[in-house]
Amino acid sequence: MATAPVTRDATDRSHPTGAGRLGALRQQALRRWELWALLLILALATVLYTWGIDHAGVHPYYSAAVRSMAANWHAFVYGALDPGGSITLDKTPGALWPQALSVKLFGPHDWAAALPQALEGVLAVWALHRIVRAWAGAPAGLLAALVLTLTPITVALNRHTIPDTLLVLLLVLAAGSLQKAISTGRLLPLIVCGTWVGLAFQAKMLQAWLVLPVFAAVYQLAAPGSRWDRARRLLLAGGTALVVSCSWLLLVWATPAANRPYADGTTNNNPFTLVFGYNGLSRFGQDPHALGAVAGTAASRTTGNTGWSMLVNHSVGPQIAWLLPVTVLALVLGLLWRTGQPRTDGPRAGFLLWGGWLAVHVVVFSTSNGNHGYYTAVLAPALAALTGGGVALFRAEYRAGGPRRAALPVAIGLTALWAVVLDGPHGRFAPWLLPVVLMLGLCGTVGLWSCGPRSTRRAVRSALAAGLASALLAPAVWAISSLDPRYGGSQMSPMAGPVGPGYLDMRHHHRHKPRPTSLNTPSTRDAALLNYLTAHRSREKYLLATQAAYGAEPLLRATSQPILVMGGFTGLTPYPTAQQLPTLVSARQLRYALLTSRRPSTPATAWVKRNCTRVPSRAYGRTSDGSFTLYDCAP
């Protein structure tokens, strides 16, 4: 979908040597300028994503699994929650593999777990620049890269250890391969596209497949070749995506149950139930036990941030929607103005690709039962690409003159006014921001509108620069705010600005900073419990059994000892059963069990209460939290 630049006719023979040399020097200077601009954008992204990385947001559940996967290759391959490989995560482990490798290489540090996320974010910026540059030109590529870099939710997410960062990178790479397949007509890039989507499935499961209908429709519409050739190639690419997507599931399914962890979230120990039941149909359908899934709990299901206003509400809107007016205008006019072009028209295919990406995610998020705010990070590449391609298109039409030249100042004016809608409810946060945005937007809009054919190039560039500054200033301020721990959201819900749960928690409880979640740094209470268990352990396989992951997480982050997580993430997964526990105890593989009143009772926990002895809390340092009780199950 590359567009050919407008160049002087090669047959122009007036001053052939001097003109040719001047043109070559000009092109060389432009390439040098583009390279330096890209390097500055990548440097900015690196700073934003890594500043204070030693205090990065470490997700308590995922980081516990990362520590375990880094300690044991068996746990690494199968995505086990604990080093002993008793039970898997309630997700596929693909997004945590880079984090586990980093922790294995550099040690159990917060920055080691967060480093792959930052690198994935920078790579996504670079990849998007290359893709948009090939589609809409060098300025569009640079603007798209800058917009993605400064998207607030992108900055907040890339400083945490949550799987969506890898999902975004892999889908951007998939879009680039699709674009190459359309422009060249070759099969290999389309197969690579399917491979990237399959790898994205390993990171975030079914969400990775949302783009497949869009990719297939755009390829079928715009790729060269006959209709049947295009369909045949799509089938091959789709088969590739399916095989790569299900590769880990097939590995786990083919491994005897005794030689692998139990599949969390399932009643039948089937990894396909974990993905398509527990993380699929049970989330969107009416049957909570679809395909043999375990019913979700409040801890495993998200509510809120849904409905058709989700994308622009007071908390999610400032994370992602600052450039929504210009992207919608770019999509509508880009398609309208390319009407009548050949079927394989590259610019139109690009608008369809990124517009379809944006539309399908908006529909799914708006109709789901609930979303974390950081889910919207997957929209950022589409918004950035449409912004870059749209501004490049509006600028070209502005130069050409005619009625279409009004699109550029209108887009800038609408974007400045839209900032009032998003930032208005947060006037106490950076109160200077809106006046500056409106002033720059006014200068850019009026300047571009008043510039005529006789206006100097410097005047046009100044007005355009003011307009772009107006559009980018507000998201940049919100993005930079996430470097302050007060405005970076919580470990489980990264969000930029004064809207995240971490910030609201501080306001309500008058805390100065969020409670940290760290690798290899247990609290005084957890350290006392670990010391007690270690001192009283005698060759048992498991240091402890816990009721659900809730009690195991802080211990797994602090130690590489095997811990039996009864019930998995929700506490409801039937492993181990009440019949298996006595066997483990009598075989001296397990002695202690830690139960909590914050998770539902199960037959396994009932057996512990009936057959084990309660340990006084003061013996293991638990003096304040009455929700945990330690039991000694020694025969």
For each successive 10 residues of the chain (635 residues), what is the average pLDDT? 41 52 79 94 98 88 96 97 95 97 96 96 98 97 98 96 96 98 96 98 97 98 95 97 98 96 97 95 81 85 84 94 97 96 96 98 90 95 98 95 93 96 92 96 94 80 95 97 89 90 63 66 91 93 95 94 95 95 94 93 95 92 76 91
Separation of alpha carbons 77 and 501, rounded Å: 33
Q: Which residues have C-beta within 8 Å of that of residue 93, sequence separation ≥ 6?
A: 65, 69, 76, 78, 79, 202, 248
Quote the pLDDT of residue 5.
39
Predicted pLDDT of residue 505: 65
Q: Which amino acid does the sequence have at 624?
A: S
* Residue/partner pairs of 620-627 with CB below 8 Å, 24 or more apart: 620/528, 620/529, 620/532, 620/533, 621/524, 621/525, 621/527, 621/528, 621/529, 621/532, 622/525, 622/528, 622/529, 623/525, 624/525, 625/525, 626/597, 627/596, 627/597, 627/598
Residue 108 in contact with residue 100, Cβ under 8 Å? no
pLDDT of residue 7: 34
* DSSP string of 138-190, one letter each residue: HHHHHHHHHHHHH-HHHHHHHTB--THHHHHHHHHHHHHHHHHHHHH--SHHH
**Stated pTM of the model:** 0.93
Each as own residue / partner, the long-range contacts of residues 524-531 (CB below 8 Å, 24 or more positions apart, any chain) are: 524/621, 525/621, 525/622, 525/623, 525/624, 525/625, 526/554, 526/555, 526/558, 527/558, 527/621, 528/620, 528/621, 528/622, 529/555, 529/594, 529/620, 529/621, 529/622, 529/630, 530/555, 530/558, 530/559
pLDDT of residue 623: 62
Longest dimension (CA), the chain: 100
592-596 vs 544-547, strand pairing mode:
parallel
Domain ranges of the chain: 30-53+116-245+303-475, 524-632
- Residue 428 CA to residue 438 CA, distance in Å, equals 17
Size of the chain in residues: 635
